[in-house]
Structure 1
Amino acid sequence: MKIVQFNAENIKRLVAVEIRPDGNLVEITGRNGQGKTSILDAIWWALDSNKVVQSKPVRDGADSGYVRLDLGEYIVTKKFKVKGEDEFTTTLTVENRDGAKYSSPVELLKSFLGDLTFDPLAFSRMKARDQVTALRAMVPDFDFAAADDANDKDFKARTDVNRTVRDLTARIEAIQVPASAPTERVSAADLLTELQHAMEHNEGIEKERRRRTSIQGRIVQLREANETRREDIRKLEQRIADLNGGIAAAEQAIEELHDELDGVKDDVEPIDTASIRERITTAEEANRYVDRRVERERLEAEAKRQQEISDGLTKAIDDRKAAAAKAVREAKLPVAGLELTEDAVLLNGVPFNQASDAEQLRVSIAVAGAMNPRLRVIRVRDGSLLDDEAMATLRAYADENDMQIWIERVDSSGKVGVVIEDGMVAAAMREAAE
């Protein structure tokens, strides 16, 4: 749909205006203050809600005014009536070609409009992130909001995990374990038990030695005694009988002692307790290193696990970004070479804000048109800021895409477009004067 005929009376600076557009680029021209902007605002007010209407929509001195847009398939009429200072009422009707009126005209008109219909150049003035949001609406098969929420959660989770990995790494580096340190803890209790057994063993050996020395001493004593007795026998033959008895008894005792001596161990080597005592002394230090090694290995395992979590979150974020990029590539964006990143819009690989004014204009108009598939009407204010190249680009786009573009430009020649003077179309004023 396009505007087949525009009529307005007593709207802002307009007195009475009728325009039947010829061609897709409708230039509203004239000197400043003649009512050019009033025409574009009247189109906006007729199609959009009352929120966009200014506080004094009716021309000074008039009690009422109206805007009528013939869209071919529909006829839209919006009337304004003054009630008091800065107060007015409005009525909106939408009817088809047969005169049948629609019961919900506001909802019907909303279905015709896009966000940039009345100010497409606003796209070029948006922040890069807002441009991305606007274009994402043209990719219906991908939920960017859900992907952004998921990426935001994963990014925060990854930040926490990476912080944990850094903390674990610092703790791991702080634990120094010599390469020669044991890998298992040493049991001091086992060493003490071993020492006790060794001491008991050695004490037994010492006891046997003392016993052997005692026995050997007794043998020597008995032998000396016997020698004395033999000497006494030689000297005292008369005492032989008595002494022989003593000798017999002593010999018997000697035999018994020899038998006992044979049972005494003499070849058992003592255990060296010095090494055990030294091992007990070093056990505590060894165990400290074992504990450090165990703690380091635990921290390394935890750091590895956290890193794997971080890598998984990174992959999830990257996968969603890849899916978003794929959805954008497969979507039919309004301009060839238009791409979306997470934070910016690119045109042929270059940030949109670095494109030429003509390119930015072309893209902005194309985006507005794509957002407005049913009503092929776009309003462009401040057209005087556009040079000849930009105007040519605008005209070419309008023709190529069958888009009706209404644009206001300051022009004093009276020879360009629909010329507005004193709230009326200049041609109509000249005919009235004649």
Structure 2
Amino acid sequence: MKIVKIKIKNLFGIKEYEADGRSIELTGKNGAGKTSVIDAIRYALTNKSDREYIVRNGETEGEILIETDNGIRIDRKPRTQQTDYKSVKHNGMEVGSPETFLKDIFTTLQLSPVEFMAMDKKQQNAIILDMIEYDWSLQTIKEWFGEIVPDINYEQNILQVLNDIQSEKGYYFMKRQDINRDARNKRAFIEEIAENIPEGYEAEKWEKASLNEIYTEIERIRKENETIDKALQLIENRNNKVRKFEADKEIAIAALDREFDTRANQIDRDIASLKAQIKALETERDGLADKKKDKLSVIENQYTAAVAKYDAEVEEYKEYVGKEKKSTLELSEKAAMVEKMKSHINEYHRMVNLQNEVEDLLAESADLTRKIEKARTLPGEILETATIPIKGLTVKDGVPLINGLPVSNLSDGEKLDLCIDVAIQKPNGLQIILIDGVEKLSTDLRTKLYEKCKSKGLQFIATRTTDDEDLTVVEL
């Protein structure tokens, strides 16, 4: 699509100007109106201007009219006393959303392509990558990575998006670093725990091991040993006990003898002094033998009962007398060992849980590595099918290369060629280039720039400051 008619009236410093679709160079001194022509065309296409006054001084209305060879007609009339007029038609029909329509037929660099050379490499790279045509959407990202990767500017071109995804400052890389660090820390904890757990530790066995049975057996043996000790003591002390019982009996008999002898003597004395009571006393004396016999019988019975009771107790423990006492040392050591093994159970389970967590972390890390590698390999796959509008363009690690070189390594001539290639990104769009201030370029570069535009079949309007008083139009 090319411009076939340009008409400017009362815009900026221009009173009236008309041109067809030929490529021209506008020359003259500063203030001659060279840049006003380019600014008017920019205004027609963008409805924007950096100038404070658009309508020519002294006028109330200006106009810029542009017609193309495919039926597009752009007519803008800025006004100072009423609302601006604008009309964008295609084949005689008004276009809906005219500003959006116009944005689709040109790129901003067409209006000032040399600006590309003054940009930093990051801006240049972003513009070049934006030129690569590849149909993708957020659903494409989901299919590639299983999710919409966070912290990514999806307004960028797909190659820059992939570069940001695989970047060392990207979400996946940083997350993988955190996961690997966490895995290393957990491994350190595992090693620390393992140092305190016996080799070949069987957690399930020691969880099921019963200390109650061991301690019950220890208590049974301890009580049996006490019983054996008591039986031996009872047997050994029996004779002593019996002798004690005999001594108690003899003492009681001796006491009884003394008691009754004393009484008999007293009676004799009483008989001698109390003859009147002789009969009663003699009767009492005659009965003393029977009373003594009865009490003696009680003493004998008490003795017999005490011996019998003690013999019964001895008999109860008799079965333990020949028994050998058992040692609880082995069981105590076993109980201590089981207790020690059980003390490791919680740490063992903690270690196992940490190991499982490490496995999960490593699997997640491996998945992130896979995604990072995919983001690194996808550009190559994309470039195999994508439409690449610049000859010799490749991409490595997210950086566009022209014939194997980054833009910053290109010569000035190569950069000029690239300027034009970058500016004309829409093959079906408006094929015109506006170049303001070509006097800043060397004669050789300026000539190469014009030849590049001609070789691509582009219309171009260039301005060059000279010492000429009047505006001169040079057809190229």
- The one of 122, 125, 133 equivalent to 1:139 is 133
Max radius of gyration: which structure? 2
2:352 maps to which residue?
Answer: 297
Distance change in 2, residues 1:301/1:79 (3 Å):
closer
Using the TM superposition, give the Cα deviation of residue 379 of structure 1 relative to its aligned residue in structure 2, in angstroms: 2.0
The TM-score normalised by the length of structure 2 is: 0.63
Give structure 1 stretches of 5+ with no counterpart. Answer: 218-259, 415-420, 429-434
Pairs within 5 Å for 1:196-345: 196-200=219-223, 202=225, 271-340=326-395, 344-345=399-400
2:84 maps to which residue?
Answer: 89
1:175 maps to which residue?
Answer: 193
Distance 1:401 1:8 in 2: 27
Using the TM superposition, give the Cα deviation of residue 376 of structure 1 relative to its aligned residue in structure 2, in angstroms: 0.9
Distance change in 2, residues 1:275/1:116 (3 Å):
same
Distance 1:386 1:145 in 2: 46
Distance 2:219 2:444 in 1: 105
Contact conserved, 1:27 with 1:407, CA < 8 A, in 2?
Answer: yes
Contact conserved, 2:25 with 2:462, CA < 8 A, in 1?
Answer: yes
2:278 maps to which residue?
Answer: none
Contact conserved, 1:123 with 1:131, CA < 8 A, in 2?
Answer: no
Equivalenced residue count is 369
Using the TM superposition, give the Cα deviation of residue 51 of structure 1 relative to its aligned residue in structure 2, in angstroms: 3.6
Contact conserved, 1:57 with 1:80, CA < 8 A, in 2?
Answer: no
Worse-matched range after superposition: 155-164 or 5-14: 155-164
1:362 maps to which residue?
Answer: 417
Distance change in 2, residues 1:333/1:29 (3 Å):
farther
Distance change in 2, residues 1:336/1:137 (3 Å):
closer
Contact conserved, 1:64 with 1:79, CA < 8 A, in 2?
Answer: no
Distance 2:232 2:114 in 1: 114
Tell me the SS of whatever aligns to 2:109: coil
- The one of 4, 24, 27 equivalent to 2:25 is 27
Using the TM superposition, give the Cα deviation of residue 401 of structure 1 relative to its aligned residue in structure 2, in angstroms: 2.4
Worse-matched range after superposition: 325-334 or 170-179: 170-179
Amino acid at match of 2:434: R
Distance change in 2, residues 1:162/1:121 (3 Å):
farther
- The one of 91, 99, 106 equivalent to 1:113 is 106
Distance 1:389 1:205 in 2: 123
2:161 maps to which residue?
Answer: none
Distance change in 2, residues 1:391/1:188 (3 Å):
farther
Using the TM superposition, give the Cα deviation of residue 308 of structure 1 relative to its aligned residue in structure 2, in angstroms: 0.3
Worse-matched range after superposition: 312-321 or 159-168: 159-168
Distance change in 2, residues 1:133/1:2 (3 Å):
closer
Distance 2:404 2:213 in 1: 74
1:103-141 Cα shifts (integer Å, max 9, x gaps): 545554343223433233454526626843663463232
Distance 1:427 1:407 in 2: 10
Distance 1:400 1:74 in 2: 25
Pairs within 5 Å for 1:385-404: 385-404=440-459
Contact conserved, 1:183 with 1:293, CA < 8 A, in 2?
Answer: no
- CA RMSD across the alignment: 4.0
Tell me the SS of whatever aligns to 1:10: strand
Confirm whether residue 62 of structure 1 aligns to residue 85 of structure 2. Answer: no
Distance 2:464 2:53 in 1: 23
Distance 2:462 2:54 in 1: 20
Distance 2:8 2:50 in 1: 15
Confirm whether residue 80 of structure 1 aligns to residue 77 of structure 2. Answer: yes
Amino acid at match of 1:391: R
Using the TM superposition, give the Cα deviation of residue 304 of structure 1 relative to its aligned residue in structure 2, in angstroms: 1.1
Distance 1:137 1:161 in 2: 37
Amino acid at match of 1:91: K
Using the TM superposition, give the Cα deviation of residue 271 of structure 1 relative to its aligned residue in structure 2, in angstroms: 4.0
Tell me the SS of whatever aligns to 1:374: coil
Confirm whether residue 165 of structure 1 aligns to residue 183 of structure 2. Answer: yes
- The one of 398, 409, 412 equivalent to 2:464 is 409
Distance change in 2, residues 1:388/1:172 (3 Å):
farther
Distance change in 2, residues 1:137/1:20 (3 Å):
closer
Distance change in 2, residues 1:193/1:404 (3 Å):
farther
Distance 2:193 2:381 in 1: 47
Distance 1:382 1:79 in 2: 25
Distance change in 2, residues 1:146/1:75 (3 Å):
closer
Amino acid at match of 1:400: S
Distance 1:389 1:201 in 2: 118
Contact conserved, 1:177 with 1:292, CA < 8 A, in 2?
Answer: no
